[in-house]
A and B are shown apart, each in its own frame.
Chain A
Amino acid sequence: MHKNAGSENNSYEFILDCNDITKQYGGTQALNGVQLKLKKGQVHALIGENGAGKSTLMKIIGGLVQPNSGTVFFEGKHYQAKSPVEAINAGIAMIHQELNPQPYLSIAESIFLNREDNYKNIPILNKKATNERAVKVLKKFNISLNPKIHMEHLTLAQIQMIEIVKAVSTNARLILMDEPTSSLDSEETEHLFNTIRDLQSKGVTIVYISHRMDEIFDVCDSYSVFRDGSFIDSGNISDVTKNDLISLMVGRVVKNIFPKVECSIHDVVFRAEKLCGKGFKDISFEVHAGEILGITGLVGSGRSETMESIFGLNPLNSGKMYLYEKEIRIKNVRDAMDKGIAMINEDRKEYGLCLFRSITENISLPSLRKKHKGILINQKKEKEECNEIASKLSIKMANIKTDAFSLSGGNQQKVVVAKWLMDRPELIILDEPTRGVDVGAKAEIHSLMCQFAAEGMAIIMVSSELPEVMGMSDRILIYHEGSLNGEITRSEILSGKENQETILKKEFGGR
């Protein structure tokens, strides 16, 4: 009923009309000629797997990123925002997934940041006038908060509401919402949906990105599906089912070939029993020598958090861990390393490398403690060992003394892998081992993993990329919102009993 609110009065068919948008980051094609067409007053779901290019397109429309090519029309006029300010001035607001409020500004000050009231002709702030304006706009959304309250005292949901109020008060006709419910509970989500419907009745158009299918069917009118940086399909939500959308998102058959080598699987190396911590609960699993255990789930489902706790980066709230059936306690990273656990973090630049130090220094850092007796570093031995492992992993570099910064993503990742191989670990955890790595290096990292397995290490591989998980793992664990939701064996995949669609369903909470 509310779907075509007043569109016939306008001279344009689509309020936002994006065509042939292309965006490259370095060598990777983030967007490959995608389109996005929105009708006025609609709530439009933009869906796709991690890395499908949704966020990139949002950033382009929001003025944060410039496309390489393509055209955008907004309200019938050619539109190109070079900065977020230009997007806001044009009438497009963006609600980011990560909210960044100004904690020490009041609600009124936050809403009218950069649009403050002054006393007549004097450049002194008229706080009273700003507060009154704030009360007026808050009232429109039935929010009864005192505008003088500081942002730091608000809940995440309230902060998000204020962001939406701010967007509307700038006269935004199009609001982009990137996973707005990822940090809200169900009641807050319901409140957000009421706000969205309210905005819709006022003629505001909304792009809604979410991984939660139920929400999409609850609040959206139409959809567009992206996959691997390309536009796949669009239509009305009422014409499709959840399974239709999941098939559209996955679409492809497993086309990448993985150099998985079958290894004989031996005893249990590591066993986790009911691990609980921030972002995950009741996680139990075991991993054997020679086995690659794949772990998948949506971003934020608690996979990486679990691994970081096992490695001692974050504390565990409860649960037990066993290495070779002996209980182990891990308080910090050094404990984990002493037990023979290594972890390659998903964030290479944050946790993996000191970018402006040499390759040698990066590779030898974790193993210095054990490999060099006394206080001095045996420079010659260090150089030899690093060179040896660098050539074993065929790291392409000018010189082992160059900064890690100068390497390509794939080679940087190999340096991180090399760090942890210096001291042969029993259990190696690889979190997104091939993220941001080109195809060639990817295959090399995969065959290295098989080599480790053959040498008898136990391997845990966390990945969002389903073909990788399916192609490399002996077993797959699937996370859903902090808990395990299913386990799949390699034979089930090889027999075709389980495929990308069934795995994705489990990631979304299905059985």
Chain B
Amino acid sequence: MKQERIQVQKVNLLKMDQHDLNIFMKRYGIGFVLLGMFIVLSVASPRFLTVLNLSNVLTTVSINGLLAMGMVFVITAGGIDLSIGSMLALGSVTIGLIMNATGSIFLACAGSIIICALFGLVNGFLVAKFDMFPFVVTLASMLVIRGVSYVMSGGYSFALAKPEFAQIGLGKLFGAIPFPALIFVIITLMAFVLLQLTKFGRYVYAVGGNIKSATASGVNVLWTRIGTFVIMGICAGTAAIIMTARINAAQPNIGTGYEVDAIAACVIGGTSFSGGISTIPGTFIGVMIIGLIFNGMNLIGISSYWQIIMKGLLIIAAVMMDKFINRKN
């Protein structure tokens, strides 16, 4: 009797009835894994739960975080984008070339975002218009984009004309919040609004959930699918700015393998690979879990090779959980 009342109170506290709670658990159950990691790491290392370390974690995950925020749109609409690692390189080279030619940091950053968005548009157009497999299309554009960045840079890294650009990677707002972390958080909020509160977001879910039903409901499937790839491009172009600022040089050979971590973050965060199911908070949690594996193991002093194994195992666990939850498929 007493127990029952306690339970009801708990549920009321979260302003949810039992049913909402079930949905919440299904969507955000992975959050408890993150919570568990937090507790274990806090106990294991006194250096973990400090403002400095946590803002370090946010800074480290910011690049993967931005990529994951784009990737979640693409995967939710039933696609995949393998070309984002190459986009980072293209963005970097573009920043360097524009900055050294015009001396404008703003133009350089805009250039990175625009060129990546354009390649996203091409990816999306090929996938949606000709109904080609996104895996194959973006595999090909991964090569093309990488090649373009080598051609544009002549194959060499080069220094940037504006040393203050590095502040985007190093600087802190009010001396406390690192800019990369700030950008990541802002983009996450924007992604949340776009995917979960707008009509476009709703169409993304509908297209990924059942493309035929979306068509029969009058959804513009073509532009919805293209849109997700453009968003991916914008996120990749933004990530390229942070990455270039942190390296403080334009490099055509960066970004290899970054698509893997972005996809991993989405999947760990509960994004269904068959499309139609995902949340931005879930993806954020996925990004943080990957970041903590790296950060935590370093703090505890476990060989960094193990973090790769852990990441792999975690993806399998997450996909199994996805299968289990969506077994009704």
Residues on A facing B (Cβ under 8 Å): 311, 313, 332-334, 336-337, 343, 345, 350-357, 361, 364-366, 368-369, 372, 375-377, 379, 398-399, 401-402, 405, 419
Which of B5-13, B47-55, B164-172, B205-213 makes up part of the contact surface?
A: B205-213
Chain A residues with Cβ below 8 Å from B203 are 368
Please state if A377 and B213 are interface contacts (CB–CB under 8 Å).
no
CB pairs A–B below 8 angstroms (13 shown): A313-B216, A334-B218, A334-B220, A337-B218, A350-B210, A354-B206, A354-B213, A354-B214, A364-B202, A365-B202, A369-B218, A375-B199, A405-B328
Please state if A355 and B216 are interface contacts (CB–CB under 8 Å).
no
Please state if B213 and A356 are interface contacts (CB–CB under 8 Å).
no
Q: Given contacts A356-B276, A365-B206, A401-B23, could you give 19 more A-B pairs where the C-beta distance is less than 8 Å?
A: A332-B218, A350-B210, A350-B213, A354-B205, A354-B209, A354-B210, A354-B276, A355-B210, A357-B209, A361-B205, A365-B214, A365-B217, A366-B218, A375-B198, A375-B199, A376-B193, A376-B198, A377-B197, A401-B20
Within 8 A of A (CB), among B230-282: 276-277
User: How far does the alpha carbon of A178 sit from the alpha carbon of B67 in the complex, in Å?
Assistant: 52
Confirm or deny: B28 has a beta carbon within 8 angstroms of a beta carbon on chain A: no
Question: Shortest Cβ distance from B23 into chain A, in angstroms?
Answer: 6
Considering the complex of A and B, which 4 residue pairs feature the smallest CB-CB distances, nearest first? A354-B209, A351-B216, A366-B217, A333-B218
Within 8 A of A (CB), among B218-233: 218-220
Q: A356-B277, A375-B199 are in contact. Are A350 and B212 (CB under 8 A)?
A: yes
A423 — nearest CB in chain B belongs to which residue? B218
Please state if A353 and B202 are interface contacts (CB–CB under 8 Å).
no
B23, B197, B202, B276: residue with the most chain A Cβ atoms closer than 10 Å:
B202
User: How far does the alpha carbon of A292 sit from the alpha carbon of B53 in the complex, in Å?
Assistant: 70
Question: Shortest Cβ distance from B274 into chain A, in angstroms?
Answer: 9
User: How far does the alpha carbon of A440 sit from the alpha carbon of B214 in the complex, in Å?
Assistant: 29
Tell me if B's interface is mostly helix, strand, loop or mixed.
Answer: helix
User: How far does the alpha carbon of A221 sit from the alpha carbon of B326 in the complex, in Å?
Assistant: 50
Chain A residues with Cβ below 8 Å from B20 are 399, 401
Question: Shortest Cβ distance from A371 into chain B, in angstroms?
Answer: 10
- Count A-B pairs with CB separation below 8 Å: 82
Chain B residues with Cβ below 8 Å from A350 are 210, 212-213
A375, A399, A401, A419: the one within 8 Å of B217 (CB): A419
Confirm or deny: B200 has a beta carbon within 8 angstroms of a beta carbon on chain A: yes
User: How far does the alpha carbon of A6 sit from the alpha carbon of B193 in the complex, in Å?
Assistant: 77
Question: Shortest Cβ distance from B30 into chain A, in angstroms?
Answer: 18
User: How far does the alpha carbon of A245 sit from the alpha carbon of B206 in the complex, in Å?
Assistant: 47
User: How far does the alpha carbon of A377 sit from the alpha carbon of B203 in the complex, in Å?
Assistant: 12
Please state if A377 and B216 are interface contacts (CB–CB under 8 Å).
no
Confirm or deny: B19 has a beta carbon within 8 angstroms of a beta carbon on chain A: yes
A334 — nearest CB in chain B belongs to which residue? B218
User: How far does the alpha carbon of A284 sit from the alpha carbon of B200 in the complex, in Å?
Assistant: 38
Q: A351-B212, A353-B210, A377-B198 are in contact. Are A401 and B218 (CB under 8 A)?
A: no
B277 — nearest CB in chain A belongs to which residue? A356
Confirm or deny: B45 has a beta carbon within 8 angstroms of a beta carbon on chain A: no
Please state if B19 and A402 are interface contacts (CB–CB under 8 Å).
yes
Question: Shortest Cβ distance from A415 into chain B, in angstroms?
Answer: 11
Chain B residues with Cβ below 8 Å from A398 are 19
Please state if B200 and A375 are interface contacts (CB–CB under 8 Å).
yes
Chain A residues with Cβ below 8 Å from B23 are 401-402
Please state if B218 and A353 are interface contacts (CB–CB under 8 Å).
no
Confirm or deny: B215 has a beta carbon within 8 angstroms of a beta carbon on chain A: yes
User: How far does the alpha carbon of A398 sit from the alpha carbon of B22 in the complex, in Å?
Assistant: 12
User: How far does the alpha carbon of A33 sit from the alpha carbon of B213 in the complex, in Å?
Assistant: 38
Question: Shortest Cβ distance from A447 into chain B, in angstroms?
Answer: 25
User: How far does the alpha carbon of A337 sit from the alpha carbon of B213 in the complex, in Å?
Assistant: 14
Please state if A353 and B213 are interface contacts (CB–CB under 8 Å).
yes
B19, B197, B199, B209: the one within 8 Å of A355 (CB): B209
Chain B residues with Cβ below 8 Å from A311 are 216
Chain B residues with Cβ below 8 Å from A351 are 212-213, 215-216
Question: Shortest Cβ distance from B5 into chain A, in angstroms?
Answer: 23
Please state if B216 and A343 are interface contacts (CB–CB under 8 Å).
yes
When each residue 1-45 of chain B gets 1 if its CB lies under 8 Å from chain A and 0 otherwise, what string results? 000000000000000010110010000000000000000000000
Please state if B206 and A377 are interface contacts (CB–CB under 8 Å).
no
User: How far does the alpha carbon of A354 sit from the alpha carbon of B217 in the complex, in Å?
Assistant: 11
User: How far does the alpha carbon of A322 sit from the alpha carbon of B328 in the complex, in Å?
Assistant: 44
User: How far does the alpha carbon of A372 sit from the alpha carbon of B201 in the complex, in Å?
Assistant: 13
Q: A313-B216, A350-B212, A357-B276 are in contact. Are A379 and B197 (CB under 8 A)?
A: yes
Please state if A357 and B217 are interface contacts (CB–CB under 8 Å).
no
User: How far does the alpha carbon of A384 sit from the alpha carbon of B213 in the complex, in Å?
Assistant: 23
Within 8 A of A (CB), among B100-124: none
When each residue 301-321 of chain B gets 1 if its CB lies under 8 Å from chain A and 0 otherwise, what string results? 000000000000000000000
Question: Shortest Cβ distance from B278 into chain A, in angstroms?
Answer: 11
Chain B residues with Cβ below 8 Å from A334 are 218, 220
User: How far does the alpha carbon of A377 sit from the alpha carbon of B194 in the complex, in Å?
Assistant: 10
